[in-house]
Amino acid sequence: MWQGIHGHDVVVERFRHSLASGRLAASYLFLGPPGVGKRTFAVKLAQALLCPRDQAGQLQPCGECESCQLVSAGNHPDLDVVGLPAGKRWLPVELFLGDRDHRNQVGLCHNVSLRPQMGRRRVAIIDDADHLTVESSNCLLKTLEEPPPGAVMILIGTSRGRQLPTILSRTQTVRFSALSPDTVRQLLIEQQIATDPAQAEQLARVCDGSLSKAAELIDPELWDMQRSLLPQLTPARFDSVRLASELTAFVNQAGKEADARRGRIRLTIQMVANHFRHLLRASCSSQSADLPELHELQPQGAAAQDLALAVLDRSLEAEVQLDRNANQATLIECWLDDLASIFAQHAYPAAHI
């Protein structure tokens, strides 16, 4: 465990090797599931790179010098951190170039071009890189192509598919893995997210190695939705109209805040995707004999795999549409209608049901 951060020691060694060989890149793209510590890692890496006492390049910030304390306080003059503003769906141009009255006089691109005030480097961290637009990413191109001496840029996203080609071609990708169930369980208890070890165990099993997702899954209404939804995910039992009504009611219970409603839709889509991802893996292994849901009213063998892949593809597409701010009611209806068509294509003949 590096600097209190669990699960990413391999990434630490990669950066240590780069520093030792004098090959620290100017631009990195951190990719991995949400809630695994990418942003925390980026800030701690910045603290190590800016710490004047870490001369050996071991990425061990002292935590005591003025530089380290300023990073911890969030106001180091050589560190800029930007992310998605509250209520926004995209990273605005103003974060990088300033508003129209101060264009190129303030903002991340302007700041990173300045000489360091306290040391040899400047570090810029761009969280939520999944939400860069073509316009906002274009603001970064010159800085990424011709970085100032000593500058290090770190962009943070979830997957390559959500990044613009112009960003991918100008950054070195660093992959972060999901946290292990044991690590998630430990963190849930340490951070008092789970109320007891039993709840931590349950959440660690279903959160896909994401601490933030585990926190979202604490919602008891979500578990009620899961218990209602999952048994209906078979060709013989799937009713898109009824499910659309249930899901709409579930989303409405989140209140009027768009982000909260969007979060419930996302969790439901992920719930369905995870269910079929589990069935797909099981159908390809000896576990399938122990899973009655693969045999009761479900296709088997290659047909089960085709069904699971089709549902996964459509669910991933629905999640992308949600990120693009599609109308929520329309998205729910279209997604479930398409799943109904997929189930119809893979249903058993009536004599087999």
Exposure string for 56-71, b = 16+ CB within 10 A, e = fewer: ebebebeeebebbebb
CA distance readout (Å), 43 to 61, 102, 159, 191, 309: 11, 27, 20, 19, 37
Local structure of 122: helix, strand or coil: strand
For residue 286, the model assigns a pLDDT of 52
Q: Could you give all domains of the chain from N- to C-terminal order, each with its CATH number?
A: 9-175 (3.40.50.300), 179-209 (no CATH), 219-352 (no CATH)
CA distance 97 to 106: 6
Say if residues 66 and 22 touch (Cβ distance below 8 Å). Answer: no
Whole-number Cα distances in Å, 291 to 107, 198, 234, 283, 299 = 54, 24, 14, 9, 13
The stretches in the chain having pLDDT less than 70 are: 285-301, 347-353
Distance, CA of 145 to CA of 182 (rounded, Å): 41
Write out the H or E segment, with its range, that includes residue 127: none
- The pairing of strands 27-31 and 79-82 is unpaired
Nearest CA to 162 out of 125, 132, 124 is that of 132
Nearest to 68 by CA among 88, 43, 101: 43
Which structure tokens are listed for 189?
A: 């208890």
pTM beyond cutoff 0.75: yes
Q: In the numeric block, which tokens belong to residue 83?
A: 């992310």
What pLDDT score does 351 carry?
33
Q: Could you read off the pLDDT of 177-223 as tens digits, one per residue?
A: 999 999 999 999 999 999 899 999 999 988 989 999 899 888 889 88
| pLDDT (0 to 100) of residue 353 | 33
pLDDT of residue 293: 46
Model pLDDT, residue 181: 94
